Amino acid sequence: MEKIPILKMGKYLLVTIQVDMHDRLAMSLQDDLTEKIVLYNARGVLIDISSLEIVDSFIGRMLSNIASMSRILDAETVVVGMRPAVAITMVELGLDMKGVKTALNVDMGMKMLDIFTGKNDEQEKLNDHSEE
Amino acid sequence: MTDKSKVRIFDIVNSTENEILENWLKLQISSTALRMDLLSERELRQQSAEFLSLFKEATSTGNWDINDSGWSRVLEFLDSISRSRAIRGFTPTETATFIFSLKQSLFTTLQKTSKNGTADLIQDLCDITLLIDSLGLFTTEVYLKSKEEIIVRQQTEMIELSTPVVQLWNGILALPLIGTLDSARTQVVMESLLSRIVETGSNIAIIDITGVPTVDTLVAQHLLKTVAAARLMGADCVISGIRPQIAQTIVHLGVDLSEVTTKATMADAFKHALNLTGAIVKKKQ
């Protein structure tokens, strides 16, 4: 069975969806991703959907779910590169993906993750100092 | 309508064509509904003569239903005349007078040449009235249709013209909206904004609604949809140019704009956008 590759980049995970998502693929991505977050102790997840041409309500909800799950596991999720046509369709479907962070491209997404996770890291450092 | 009367009318038209034409022209020229400033007498004569000869040809077939194939050339000719008059700025009355004044001319001729008594004359008048009326209605219909075509063309042109997306700064786009927003226009606005966001890699878009005369629930919903779509792609939207009255309307309508950044003027929105990108504007030393 085909799988969507999940790449580790430093403290982040990079998921590039390059095939049309069907429901089973989406479910297996959910499983794999949560496992990998725990395995690598990832701080952020970047999902690139720039080559995705069709997003239906199921995939939209799955993206929201992935974001919520990774937040529970203390990793921020940024969805990048959504196409205009896909964005219009999702709004028409009433899926506004509240709670999911978005960016125009991978570059901006990475910067965004740096900002979000950077804050947490500083706090960690502070905590470390207080423990010493 | 009897065949006898058809033949009789054809004979009259055929034998007195010139007389009918002269009469008809005189009537058209003397009528107040003729626009001599838009149409020369020579052109009018040419049109009338051509129509009359086509009319004669069509009546000779003996079939007086204008939907019949024998009348197709007459209709084609009328079609072109009505269209050209509609484009030149004639009113419907002025356009229809072309056909209706022929009726009067035909009546006069019929009256003069009628020898067979009142009953036949009345029958002939009835037949001609029916025929000319249907031709007149056809003229008006074509006139209206061509006017409608003009309106549709202008609408599409307006949609194309009214959605400029301008780049204000590196990473900042502005979309000044002018005119009423309906569903069709919003769709175009949304598409052009989103594609420009991708092209320029901008992450802030300012939607300025200074030129939108009224904001009702539908327009507000369209705006929110555009903002949501831009957000999904990773761009923030700022709505600016909200006039005091519109702010009041939005609140009275119960539209929730709390999730969107709104600014009173484009300048404020631009300042806010610069702030977000980390740029600052300051005076020279």
- ipTM associated with this complex: 0.74
Q: What is the pLDDT of residue B33?
A: 62
Q: Provide mean pLDDT across the span B3-20.
A: 77
- Chain A contacts of B163, Cβ < 8 Å? none
Cβ contacts of B190 within 8 Å, gap of 6 or more: A88, B225, B226, B229
Q: What is the pLDDT of residue B206?
A: 95
Q: Tell me how far the alpha carbon of residue B278 is from its chain's centroid.
A: 49
Instruction: Give percent of chain B above pLDDT 90.
Output: 21
Residue of A nearest to B231 (CA): A102
- Chain A contacts of B190, Cβ < 8 Å? 88
Q: B34 pLDDT band (50/70/90 cuts)? A: low
Checking if the pLDDT of B158 tops 90, the result is no
Nearest to B233 among A82, A92, A96 (CB): A82
**Residue B203 sits at the chain A interface (C-beta within 8 Å):** yes
Domain ranges in chain B are: 3-157, 166-277
CB-based contact A87 B194, cutoff 8 Å: yes
Q: B214 pLDDT band (50/70/90 cuts)? A: confident
**Residue A110 sits at the chain B interface (C-beta within 8 Å):** no
Q: What is the pLDDT of residue B1?
A: 52
Please provide the DSSP assignment of chain B as one string. Answer: --HHHHHHHHHHHHHTHHHHHHHHHHHHHHSTT--TTTS-HHHHHHHHHHHHHHHHHHHHTS---TTSGGGHHHHHHHHHHHHHHHHHT--HHHHHHHHHHHHHHHHHHHHHH--S-HHHHHHHHHHHHHHHHHHHHHHHHHHHHHHHHHHHHHHHHHHHHT---EEEETTEEEEEEES---HHHHHHHHHHHHHHHHHHT-SEEEEEEEE-----HHHHHHHHHHHHHHHHHT-EEEEE---HHHHHHHHHHT---TTSEE-SSHHHHHHHHHHHHT-------
- Chain B contacts of A90, Cβ < 8 Å? 229, 232
Residue of A nearest to B190 (CA): A88
CB-based contact A91 B228, cutoff 8 Å: yes
Q: What is the pLDDT of residue A36?
A: 92
Checking if the pLDDT of B274 tops 90, the result is yes
Q: Which CATH architecture has domain B166-277?
A: 2-Layer Sandwich (3.30)
Q: Provide mean pLDDT across the span A59-82.
A: 89
Q: Provide mean pLDDT across the span B141-156.
A: 89
Checking if the pLDDT of B275 tops 70, the result is yes
CB-based contact A109 B190, cutoff 8 Å: no
Tell me which of A5-9, B3-7, B21-25 is least confident: B3-7
Checking if the pLDDT of B194 tops 70, the result is yes
Checking if the pLDDT of A118 tops 80, the result is no
- Chain B contacts of A97, Cβ < 8 Å? 232
Lookup result for tokens 């041409």: A53
Tens digits of residue pLDDT in B71-90: 888 888 889 988 888 888 88
Choose the CATH number for B3-157 among 3.90.79.10, 2.40.40.20, 1.20.140.10, 1.10.490.10.
1.10.490.10
Tens digits of residue pLDDT in B60-69: 777 777 777 8
- Chain A contacts of B231, Cβ < 8 Å? 96, 102
What is the CATH topology of the domain spanning A6-131? Transcription Regulator spoIIAA (3.30.750)
**Residue A47 sits at the chain B interface (C-beta within 8 Å):** no
CB-based contact A84 B229, cutoff 8 Å: yes
Domain ranges in chain A are: 6-131
Query: How high does pLDDT run on average in chain A?
Result: 86
Nearest to A84 among B195, B225, B231 (CB): B195
Are domains B3-157 and B166-277 of this chain identical in fold? no
